[in-house]
């Protein structure tokens, strides 16, 4: 079955810790990750033991959902956009706004809403004053803010009066607010997606390799939770440091190569002859899930190949790919599977995509463009998303559903590198 439709994940929201989510900041530029607040990573998972011990029937993952027919039933005349158009997050803010403009351009002029932009890039921003201005201007819907701290503030000002689609997930909202909807690009979405794919591929024993930082641990934890929930077992967990020699040692440790070498040396000493030798990979290891940037993964995957584990199923996240086809550079990523947004791999908006891909400053920001496009699609179809909870909205950033907490969840597609090219494969 081709992954043209999302999978049925009825139990998704019950098991994932909602309080720790925040926006996924893509690309190789580490500055984009700094928008995530430190307290995101300090939250504990709070799951009832009866739920955490339950097993989910894998057949449920293979059921297709029905799509929502786009009615654009929510009449919107004025939209307030709260984005950082200046300051350290301005590239992200402008990319999201580019996506908003792309989606607006397909709306007939007589139905096209008016956009009022409020720049949230200033550290001394008076958000309460902005909220008052939006009420005076008769805003129908708010898109943004992006920064988590501002989301926490704006939800306190308005509660249920002004509809808001935030572009991040707040850890301070403890209850459902009827007019506040949360949407963003979560690394957890990818980790959960690829854990499901790994199980569907027939893997049951996984080893994890991830950078020794809060971001790496966060993604690894999400993968582990979903993988084990589906009946898999994590047999080894290794946090690596950003040093090629240390990474190689970590990989050897994960594959138990040294034990194989010791065994070979003992046999050679006993027989007093030199043996033709290929290290033995532990037979209970089915797969590897490795987290890192494109640069890190171009160092990691060849080390697995060098250490005779080239046939070991290998999974990662979309952080390894910015959407630019470069066969020579990406050759080292061959056979890696990961989850990603549909828009990077379809033929929609090719002109706009190519503008970003040809810019050295913008090519890492395509996923934020998709986020902006979907923000318009979501608010224009929010009534249907609320009404048809078991259906999905086909978006640029994924197949979108509104859960019982008013949070937009994304199903993604599966991508695999082959001959240096990232291509969509069946789920």
Least confident stretch, 63-67, 147-151, 284-288, 294-298: 63-67
- Can you read off the two tokens belonging to residue 105? 């351009």
**pLDDT at residue 400, rounded to an integer:** 95
User: Which among 15, 14, 17, 9 has a CA at the least distance from the CA of 57?
Assistant: 9
Helix (H, G, I), strand (E, B) or coil at 402: strand
The radius of gyration of the chain from alpha carbons, rounded to an integer in Å, stands at 23
Q: Which of 11-20, 43-52, 156-165, 395-404 has the highest mean pLDDT?
A: 395-404
- Can you read off the two tokens belonging to residue 18? 């909602």
Mean pLDDT value of segment 191-211 = 96
CA distance 301 to 290: 9
Q: Quick one: which H or E segment has residue 296? A: helix 294-306
Q: Per residue in 13-42, pLDDT tens?
A: 333 333 333 333 333 333 333 333 333 434
CA distance 402 to 392: 8
Tell me the helices (H) and strands (E) count for the chain, helix number first: 14, 15
Q: Per residue in 288-317, pLDDT tens?
A: 999 999 999 999 999 999 888 999 999 999
Mean pLDDT value of segment 95-104 = 97
The yes-or-no verdict on residue 175 having pLDDT over 80 is: no
Helix (H, G, I), strand (E, B) or coil at 337: strand
Specify the DSSP class assigned to residue 275: P
DSSP string, 72-87: --S--SEEEEEE--SS
**pLDDT at residue 237, rounded to an integer:** 94
DSSP string, 163-214: -EEESS--SS--S--TTEEE----HHHHHHHHHHHHHHTT--EEEEEEESSH
**pLDDT at residue 276, rounded to an integer:** 66
CA distance 200 to 9: 14
**In Å, what is the CA distance from 63 to each residue of 5, 7, 337, 388, 391?**
9, 6, 21, 17, 12
- Can you read off the two tokens belonging to residue 355? 């503008």
C-alpha 248: how far from its chain's center? 27
**pLDDT at residue 5, rounded to an integer:** 59
Torsion angle, CA of 194/197/202/208, rounded to 10 degrees? Answer: 0
Mean pLDDT value of segment 171-188 = 83
Peptide bond into 272 cis (omega under 30): no
CA distance 137 to 132: 9
Mean pLDDT value of segment 372-378 = 98
Mean pLDDT value of segment 208-218 = 94
Mean model confidence pLDDT for the chain: 83
**pLDDT at residue 205, rounded to an integer:** 96
Mean pLDDT value of segment 109-134 = 93
**In Å, what is the CA distance from 36 to each residue of 24, 93, 150, 204, 316?**
8, 15, 12, 32, 21
**pLDDT at residue 97, rounded to an integer:** 98
- Sign, CA dihedral 293-226-399-113, equals negative
Q: How close are the terminal C-alpha atoms of the chain, in Å?
A: 7
Mean pLDDT value of segment 133-146 = 95
Q: What fold is seen in the domain 12-65+187-341+412-425?
A: Rossmann fold (3.40.50)
**Delimiting residues of CATH 3.40.50.2300 domain(s) in the chain:** 12-65+187-341+412-425, 78-186+349-410
Superfamily of domain 78-186+349-410: Response regulator (3.40.50.2300)
Torsion angle, CA of 310/313/318/319, rounded to 10 degrees? Answer: -50
The yes-or-no verdict on residue 243 having pLDDT over 90 is: no
Least confident stretch, 173-182, 283-292, 350-359, 367-376: 173-182
Angle between helix 366-380 and helix 90-104 axes, rounded to 10 deg: 50
The yes-or-no verdict on residue 257 having pLDDT over 50 is: yes
% the chain with pLDDT above 90? 59
């Amino acid at each position: 079955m081709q992954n043209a439709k999302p999978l049925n994940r009825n139990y998704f929201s019950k098991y994932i810790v909602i309080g720790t989510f925040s926006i996924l900041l893509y690309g190789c530029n580490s500055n984009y990750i700094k928008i995530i607040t430190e307290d995101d990573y300090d939250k504990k998972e709070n799951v009832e033991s009866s739920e955490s011990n339950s097993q989910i029937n894998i057949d449920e993952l293979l059921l297709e959902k029905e799509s929502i027919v786009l009615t654009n039933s929510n009449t919107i005349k004025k939209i307030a956009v709260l984005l950082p158009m200046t300051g350290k997050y301005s590239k992200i803010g402008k990319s999201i706004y580019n996506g908003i403009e792309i989606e607006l351009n397909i709306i007939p002029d007589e139905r096209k809403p008016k956009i009022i932009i409020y720049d949230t890039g200033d550290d001394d921003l008076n958000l309460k004053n902005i909220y008052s201005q939006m009420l005076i201007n008769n805003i129908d819907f708010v898109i943004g803010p992006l920064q988590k701290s501002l989301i926490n503030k704006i939800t306190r000002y308005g509660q249920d009066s002004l509809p808001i689609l935030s572009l991040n997930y707040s850890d301070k909202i403890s209850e459902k607010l009827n007019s506040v909807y949360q949407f963003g690009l979560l690394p957890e979405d990818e980790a959960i997606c690829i854990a499901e794919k790994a199980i569907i591929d027939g893997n049951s024993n996984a080893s994890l390799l991830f950078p020794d930082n809060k971001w790496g641990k966060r993604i690894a934890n999400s993968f582990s939770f979903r993988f084990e929930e589906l009946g898999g077992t994590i047999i080894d967990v290794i946090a690596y440091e950003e040093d090629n020699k240390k990474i190689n040692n970590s990989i050897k440790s994960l594959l138990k190569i040294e034990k194989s070498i010791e065994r070979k040396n003992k046999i050679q000493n006993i027989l007093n002859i030199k043996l033709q030798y290929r290290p033995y990979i532990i037979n209970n290891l089915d797969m590897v899930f490795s987290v890192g940037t494109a640069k890190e993964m171009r160092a990691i995957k060849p080390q697995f190949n060098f250490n005779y584990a080239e046939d070991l199923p290998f999974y990662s996240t979309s952080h390894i790919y910015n959407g630019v086809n470069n066969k020579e550079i990406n050759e080292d990523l061959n056979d890696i599977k990961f989850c990603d947004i549909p828009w990077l791999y379809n033929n929609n908006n090719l002109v706009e995509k190519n503008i970003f891909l040809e810019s050295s400053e913008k090519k890492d920001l395509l996923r934020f463009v998709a986020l902006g496009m979907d923000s318009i699609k979501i608010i224009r179809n929010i009534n249907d998303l609320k009404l048809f909870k078991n259906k999905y909205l086909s978006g640029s950033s994924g197949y979108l559903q509104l859960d019982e907490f008013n949070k937009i969840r994304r199903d993604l597609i599966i991508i695999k590198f082959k001959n240096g090219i990232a291509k969509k494969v069946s789920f």
